[in-house]
Amino acid sequence: MASTRISSNYPPNIDPTRAPEAYGIRKVPKLNQALRDKDLITRQRALMTLSDKLHGPEHVSEAIRVGVVPKLLRLLKDADVVVREKSTECSYVIAGHAVGRAALLNSVATKRIAELFDDPADVVRHFAYKTMGRIAEQAVGAEQIVQADLLPSLVGKLQSEQSCAFKEHILDTLHSCLMVEATSALVCGALEVLRDFLAHESVQIRAKAALAMMDVCFALGGKEQACEIGCIAPLVELLAESSRDVLANATGALAAISTTTRGKYATYKAGAIRWLVELTKHRSSEVRVNSLKALTMLAEIPDARTELLGDIAKLRDCVNDKNSAVGKHASIAVGVVTWTP
Amino acid sequence: MKKMATVLPQKPQGTYSFVSQPRTVQHRKKFRDQQQLQQEQQNDGSLQGQYANIMYDRRIVRGNTYAQNVLPTSALTNPLEVQRQQETRRRNIAKRRAKEHLRPKTVEAVEGRKHQDVQTELYLEELGDRVEEVDAQCQTDPFLDRPASPLFIPAKTGVDAATQIYDGDLFDFDVEVKPILEVLVGKTLEQASLEVMEEEELAAMRAQQKAFLELRNAELVETQRLEEKERRHREEKARRMQQQKEVLELEVDTSQRVAARAFAQGYLSDLVPSVFSSLTDSGYFYDPVERDLETGFMVWLMERVEVNLRDAALGRAMLDSIIRDIVKTKNREFEKLEAANIVDAP
């Protein structure tokens, strides 16, 4: 029989791992308040709810407005693993939005997140690497990472981490940073590490290492160091692979290194021409363009030019490619090959 | 068990007592085997290792002991009686053995064969060693839990009030749930489509970024190639200019040398005769015989002349001193003579 008496107890908490949400406009400020709580369980619950709520874009801007970011950064140093994990996850989700990245950069989050690279918990490091990768995607963020002198620690972590997923995230971050600034990475021996990763068993890691190497080799110092430590031979070996990304990045890196005379001769002696001519018929336009560029570089060597004159028909085929960039660079290549002094 | 046996009170020797160790109940077999049978016969019917029924155990005294018929001791002492009894028993045993021996037996098996028990009945029966027993079980009903005490409802007081509710006045779940459900589903779908669109947008942006990067990298490489080419050309140009400059310098140098040579030749052509003449004048060109005469012979000649002159001078000096000595002595003699003349004269 129903009774009209109202219970004095609160309704039962359905999921004890999550904080109950306040209604509407009070939702995020309430969670923000709970982040500062002394009670560990309250903090954990608030972070659990927040990490779910932040997937909605409107909650992200709201959270940034009420100042969640500095609190999250403070929680990154918490003694509890769950709190650290969830706060890094929250900062990862926030870093997925432009406003979030700007807020993170304003509060100089890169150093705080870099401190988590030594965290004993794998999941915390996983989110830390992913967050760093997202921050680095903006040029401003990449500059801040380079200025904070985090490249040596990233390169060190690239060697010490065991998991392939972690290495991929670090290589993504390195790629973004190296597009901005390559010379500081050369000092900390990034090129040697990248060279060793060209022979890694994972296809993704090989592709990303070749991409990072291409970024480094756009700098003059990078080209010279690449010739000195012998990066050409492993790059030429990658040309025999079938993966699109690996081929595109390896041909790009070879083209970048071959701009210098020393690099040209090293690439020519490694026997790259045979592979590069084959790759001008690859189905991916990026591979075609990069291999044509590499061939253009090599064609400036007299021996290589005479060798390429035999394959000039293949290069001429590419001039009428449906991709305009391929056609343009193919005509440049043909011009260089048929040049007579 | 053993302890229990030891605890049993020790009866005095006079009355009859029987003590036995407690034993576990042995599994009774369905058939007795031959060995056991023989043993039983030897033990005179009492089962070894098996409990006999205590009610029929001969060793246990039963009944009233006051009315017990005690055997006269004298009867047993009669040796003849004893002997007869023993003989009767022995004969009984011998008779039983002979009877057993006389029973017809199966013929011994032929060499290389052996007998085997075979069932010859119409139906084959499974013979087992286990005693067939039947299990019967019985389970009492579990005790039922005490039912929860019914909710205490106080006796009704006051006046009843009633309300008439017509159809449609109350909440109809099937109707009312529709808008709520629509909102729920709509919200979920909206959120889902939002996320899908976001992911698609991200993927599209990534693809565009990749295409842009592809172009950028190719153009960057092309720019670097042209820069490198430009640098090479510049270096070549500088080297050529340097070479040209060196050639020009060399030409100037050569012409200057030629001019200097011509000038020197012109200058020197007048110089030689004057130099020779002045040198001849200063006596740098001479006759060796004359020079030898002057330097060697004349010196020697002068030395010899000097020696001769010195000798002549010495001779003259000697002569002078001799003359002086003579003159001196003459003077003295003259003086002496003058003196003598003066003296004589006067």
CB < 8 Å to A260, chain B: 228
Residue B214's identity, in one-letter code, is E
Which of A94, A212, A104 has the alpha carbon at shortest distance from A151? A212
- Does A56 contact B229 at a Cβ distance shorter than 8 Å? no
How close B187 gets to chain A, by Cα (Å)?
12
For the CA atoms of chain B, what is the radius of gyration? 88
Q: Which among B218, B227, B228 is the nearest to A290, CB-wise? A: B218
Burial of B346 from C-beta contacts in 10 A (0-12 / 13-18 / 19+): exposed
Average pLDDT over residues B315-326: 95
- Does B215 contact A260 at a Cβ distance shorter than 8 Å? no
- Does B217 contact A290 at a Cβ distance shorter than 8 Å? yes
- Does B214 contact A289 at a Cβ distance shorter than 8 Å? yes
Would you say residue A95 lies in a domain? no
d(CA B128, CA B44): 29
Residue B245 has pLDDT above 90, yes or no: yes
Give me the pLDDT at residue B311, please: 94
d(CA A109, CA B137): 77
Count how many Cα atoms sit within 13 Å of the Cα of residue B296 in the half-sphere of its side chain: 6
How close B224 gets to chain A, by Cα (Å)?
6
Residue B36 has pLDDT above 90, yes or no: no
Residue A160's identity, in one-letter code, is S
- Does A260 contact B222 at a Cβ distance shorter than 8 Å? no
* CATH (domain of A335): 1.25.10.10
For tokens 């969640």, name the residue: A68
For tokens 């060597």, name the residue: A301
Cβ atoms of residues A97 and A57 within 8 Å: yes
- Does B217 contact A252 at a Cβ distance shorter than 8 Å? yes
d(CA A70, CA B131): 86
Chain B within 8 Å of A297 (Cβ-Cβ)? yes
- Does A259 contact B225 at a Cβ distance shorter than 8 Å? yes
User: What angle in degrees, to the nearest 10, is found between the helix axes of A324-337 and A285-298?
Assistant: 20
Which of A254, A185, A179 has the alpha carbon at shortest distance from A223? A254
Which of A304, A303, A305, A194 has the alpha carbon at shortest distance from A250? A194
Would you say residue A295 lies in a domain? yes
How close A149 gets to chain B, by Cα (Å)?
26
The residue in chain B having the minimum alpha-carbon distance to the alpha carbon of residue A324 is B215
Could you tell me what percent of chain B has a pLDDT over 70? 84
pLDDT, one tens digit per residue, over A7-62 is: 777 766 667 787 888 888 898 999 999 998 889 999 999 998 888 888 778 888 99
- Does B218 contact A293 at a Cβ distance shorter than 8 Å? yes
Name the average pLDDT for chain A.
88
Residue A3 has pLDDT above 60, yes or no: no
Domain ranges of chain B: 172-269, 294-338
Cβ atoms of residues A260 and A247 within 8 Å: no
Q: What is the DSSP letter of A7?
A: P
H or E segment and range at residue A20: none
Dihedral-angle region of residue A323 (phi above 0 means left; psi in -120 to 50 means alpha; beta otherwise): beta
Residue B2 has pLDDT above 70, yes or no: no
d(CA A142, CA A173): 8
Can you give the residue range of the structural domain that contains A199? 182-341
Residues 47 to 106 of A: which have CB under 8 A from any B CB?
A: 55-57
CA dihedral of B274, B277, B281, B282, whole degrees rounded to 10: 60
CB < 8 Å to B235, chain A: none
Q: What is the DSSP string of A78-135?
A: -S-HHHHHHHHHHHHHHTTSHHHHHHHHHTTHHHHHHHGGG-S-HHHHHHHHHHHHHH
Which of A90, A78, A108, A85 has the alpha carbon at shortest distance from A31? A90
- Does B220 contact A218 at a Cβ distance shorter than 8 Å? yes
Q: Which string of b and e fits A40-76 if b means at least 16 CB within 10 Å?
A: eeebbbbbbbbbebbeeeebbebbbeeebbebbbebb
For tokens 């801007």, name the residue: A61
Chain B within 8 Å of A293 (Cβ-Cβ)? yes
Which of A105, A103, A127 has the alpha carbon at shortest distance from A116? A127
User: Three-state SS for A199?
Assistant: coil
pLDDT, one tens digit per residue, over B257-289 is: 999 999 998 888 888 888 888 888 887 877 888
Count how many Cα atoms sit within 13 Å of the Cα of residue B204 in the half-sphere of its side chain: 6
Residues 195 to 214 of A: which have CB under 8 A from any B CB?
A: 214
Query: Where does the pLDDT of residue B76 fall: very low under 50, low under 70, confident under 90, or very high at 90 and above?
Result: low
Give me the pLDDT at residue B128, please: 79
CB < 8 Å to A296, chain B: 222, 225
- Does B218 contact A214 at a Cβ distance shorter than 8 Å? no
- Does B218 contact A297 at a Cβ distance shorter than 8 Å? no
Compute how many other C-beta atoms are within 10 angstroms of the C-beta atom of residue A22. Answer: 14
Q: Which among B153, B218, B228 is the nearest to A260, CB-wise? A: B228
- Does A296 contact B225 at a Cβ distance shorter than 8 Å? yes
Give Cα separations from B182 to B172, B185, B186 (angstroms): 16, 5, 6
User: What angle in degrees, to the nearest 10, is found between the helix axes of A190-197 and A164-180?
Assistant: 130
Q: Which among B195, B215, B225 is the nearest to A325, CB-wise? A: B215
H or E segment and range at residue A45: helix A40-53
How close A38 gets to chain B, by Cα (Å)?
34
How close A124 gets to chain B, by Cα (Å)?
24
Would you say residue A327 lies in a domain? yes
Residues 106 to 165 of A: which have CB under 8 A from any B CB?
A: none
Give me the pLDDT at residue A130, please: 92
Compute how many other C-beta atoms are within 10 angstroms of the C-beta atom of residue B230. Answer: 10
Cβ atoms of residues A103 and A66 within 8 Å: no
The residue in chain A having the minimum alpha-carbon distance to the alpha carbon of residue B220 is A218
CB < 8 Å to A261, chain B: 228, 232
CB < 8 Å to A290, chain B: 217-218, 221
- Does B191 contact A56 at a Cβ distance shorter than 8 Å? yes
Would you say residue A301 lies in a domain? yes
Give me the pLDDT at residue B3, please: 41
H or E segment and range at residue A61: helix A57-66
Substitution target in A289, A291, A301, A324 with the highest count of B β-carbons within 10 Å is A289
Would you say residue A314 lies in a domain? yes
Give me the pLDDT at residue B92, please: 95
Give me the pLDDT at residue A206, please: 92
pLDDT, one tens digit per residue, over B202-227 is: 889 889 988 898 888 888 888 988 99
- Does B220 contact A214 at a Cβ distance shorter than 8 Å? no
d(CA B57, CA B46): 9
Residue A252 has pLDDT above 50, yes or no: yes
CB < 8 Å to B232, chain A: 261
The residue in chain B having the minimum alpha-carbon distance to the alpha carbon of residue A332 is B222
Substitution target in A179, A214, A286, A323 with the highest count of B β-carbons within 10 Å is A286
CB < 8 Å to A56, chain B: 191
Tally DSSP H helices, then E strands, for chain A.
23, 0
Query: Where does the pLDDT of residue B46 fall: very low under 50, low under 70, confident under 90, or very high at 90 and above?
Result: very low
The residue in chain B having the minimum alpha-carbon distance to the alpha carbon of residue A217 is B221
- Does B228 contact A289 at a Cβ distance shorter than 8 Å? no
User: Three-state SS for A57?
Assistant: helix
- In this prediction the ipTM stands at 0.78
d(CA A80, CA A46): 14
How many domains, in total, are found in chain A? Answer: 1
Residue B7 has pLDDT above 70, yes or no: no
pLDDT, one tens digit per residue, over A260-311 is: 888 989 999 988 888 888 888 888 888 999 999 999 988 888 888 888 888 8
Cβ contacts of residue B285 below 8 Å, gap of 6+? B279
Q: What angle do CA A158, A191, A250 make, to 5 degrees?
A: 95
Q: Which among B195, B221, B229 is the nearest to A255, CB-wise? A: B221
Write a three-state SS string for chain B.
Answer: CHHHHHHCCCCCCCCCCCCCCCCCCCCCCCCCCHHHHHHHHHCCCCCCCCCCCHHHCCCCCCCCCCCCCCCCHHHHHCHHHHHHHHHHHHHHHHHHHHHHHHCCCCCCCCCCCCCCCCCCCCCCCCCCCCCCCCCCCCCCCCCCCCCCCCCCCCCCCCCCCCCCCCCCCCCCHHHHHHHHHHHHHHHHHHHHHHHHHHHHHHHHHHHHHHHHHHHHHHHHHHHHHHHHHHHHHHHHHHHHHHHHHHHHHHHHHHHHHHHHHHHHHHHHHHHHHHHHHHHHHCCCCCCHHHHHHHHHHHHHHHHHHHHHHHHHHHHHHHHHHHHHHHHHHHHHHHHHHHHHHHHHCC
- Which residues on chain B place their C-beta less than 8 Å from a C-beta of chain A? 151, 153, 191, 194-195, 198, 210, 214-215, 217-218, 220-222, 224-225, 227-229, 232
